[in-house]
Amino acid sequence: MLNSQRNAPNILITGTPGVGKSLMSRMLSEKTDLKWVDVSKLATENACLDEFDEEYQCRVLDEEKLLNGMENLMNEGGKIVDYHSAELFPERWFDIVFVLRTDNTILYDRLKERGYCGKKLEDNIDCEIFQTILEEAKESYREEIVHELMSNSLEQLADNVLVICQWVEQWKIDNQQN
């Protein structure tokens, strides 16, 4: 059993930057007893970032150090992991995976507002057009646990949060430890 150690589920929220992972993770952590793990923030706090990559304008991630630092947290269960890649983590960590999707024009505006421009902006829009993270997720986890969710509007966000909250409650009923 993948989740035999856990008394609450672990959820991965993934997708291209700007699709709304942080906002959804924060809302979920407020509405459930699950804890939000912002992987980019964790990587910075735990000194898992190495030298600066000029092409991608960001620092290179020390993946092994990051994953080792997350292992105990994930084994506890009850975590909402928010990260813009799906292939980094061990499959056994997650009970369900949500890939957030946003229409290109809406995503473009959100990333512009965030100050992205040039190659960084183009690469992220391409990432969404080519469904890169969705494909990654389907290759990294059992397809039946990977779900695509549209996140264009706040209405969609609220609906998605509601459905996930219901799923968490059902998971707890189905996985009660006697």
Query: Site residues (CB under 6 A) for ligand DAT?
Result: 15, 17-23, 110, 151, 153-154, 156-157
Whole-angstrom Cα distance, residue 151 to residue 103?
8
> In whole angstroms, how close is the CB of 63 to ligand DAT at the nearest point?
20
Closest CA to 40 of 53, 21, 27, 19: 21
* Backbone φ, ψ for residue 46 (5° rounding): -95, 15
- 15 vs 78, beta carbon nearer ligand DAT: 15
Residue number, 20 or 78, with CB nearest to ligand DAT: 20
Sequence-ordered alpha helix ranges (H) in the chain: 21-31, 39-45, 63-76, 104-113, 118-129, 132-140, 154-174
51/25 Cα distance (integer angstroms): 29
Q: For ligand DAT, give the closer residue by CB, 63 or 103.
A: 103
Instruction: Name which of 76 and 103 has its Cβ closer to ligand DAT.
Output: 103
- Nearest position to ligand DAT, beta carbon: 20
CB 169 to ligand DAT: min, Å? 22
Q: How far is the CB of 59 from ligand DAT (least distance, A)?
A: 17
